[in-house]
Amino acid sequence: MNLLHLSKTIIHVSLTFVSILFIITGLGISNYQLIEPLTGGALSKPTSFQIHTNLLIPFIILLSVHIGLTLGKKIQKKISS
Amino acid sequence: MKKRSTTLLLFLSILMIFITVFTGCFEQQQTHLDAVEIREYQGEKLSAVNDFRENSIKGPQRINRSTYQLKITGLVEDQINYTYDEVLSMFQHYKKIVTLDCVEGWSVKILWEGILVRDLISTATPDANATTIIFKAYDGYTTSFPLNYTTDTPILLAYKMNNATLPPERGFPFQLVAESKWGYKWIKWVTEIELADNENYKGYWESRGYANSGNLNESFFEQ
């Protein structure tokens, strides 16, 4: 039970982190004039592109697992009630 | 009642005289307006000038037409400076529909009108050692191509899009129509064309990780 709870926490936290990074790198592509100086040059347009492209699959996997876990919990609650 | 009608008639007459006189004044000061943008050409639907997204490195540049000079430098026999009007009057004009594909995921299909880059550089007589053509822009942006890209294919240096003169936001006076290349190769506000023998020259985005070839059928990341 503890392991399941820990896994859920890891999934949720990872999804939050990946989502934020996905949005920031997206902005790093479309608004690079703003994001590049704000990140001290660390998030340039090409870097944003690389990260944003590579994040797509992890984002979809994490989102699917997150939705699966949430729906599973709801279904379990309905059955038990 | 009759007096009111006469007053109204008199007022309208004076108003008409004023309109006629002022219209006459404006006609004397009128400047040549450019053609309105077209959205269809020979049955093909075109994108709008406003469909572009502004993603230039320093924002739109405003270049004075009367002081503008297009320089052809580097490995050429004669270094030449052309004014805007000279470029338009000395070379044959061509029209072509070409789609610009941006790495950001959007694209625009535009009717471009311009002169051929090869016509332009041939007037300066390129040196036999020249292998690379470097385009430089007013805002410091640069990009390059193998010289044969511009000599073997009819690459346009455009001054009109969809029948209207390029607006400053779109690269007035000249934008390169780098067909079959990613959008970052379509340099705007061109001020200088340099011929060089440095095949490894890297332009603005190319030196930041984008592919030097910029071919549309390849990834835009440097492999």
Please say whether the beta carbons of B202 and B144 come within 8 A.
yes
pLDDT of A79 reads 86
pLDDT of A75 reads 87
Model confidence at B3, in pLDDT bands (50, 70, 90)? low
| Chain A positions in Cβ-Cβ contact with residue B103 (cut-off 8 Å) | 49
Contact check, Cβ <8 Å, A49/B205: no
Please say whether the beta carbons of A48 and B122 come within 8 A.
no
| Chain A positions in Cβ-Cβ contact with residue B54 (cut-off 8 Å) | none
Q: For chain B, say whether A38 makes contact (Cβ under 8 Å).
A: no
pLDDT of A70 reads 87
pLDDT of B1 reads 53
- Tell me the one-letter amino acid at B44: E
At B49-87, the pLDDT tens digits run 999 999 999 999 999 999 999 999 999 999 999 999 999
- β-pairing verdict for B175-177 and B156-161: antiparallel
Element (H, E) at B177: strand B175-177
At B138-171, the pLDDT tens digits run 999 999 999 999 999 999 999 999 999 999 999 9
At B99-140, the pLDDT tens digits run 999 999 999 999 999 999 999 999 999 999 999 999 999 999
Q: What is the pTM of this model?
A: 0.81
A25, A44, A49, best to mutate vs chain B, most B CBs in 10 Å: A49
| Chain A positions in Cβ-Cβ contact with residue B205 (cut-off 8 Å) | 45-46
Residue A2: other Cβ atoms inside 10 A: 6
Look at residue B23 and tell me whether its pLDDT is greater than 80. no
pLDDT of B64 reads 97
Residue A8 has phi, psi (to 5 degrees) of -60, -45
The number of C-beta contacts closer than 8 angstroms across A and B is 21
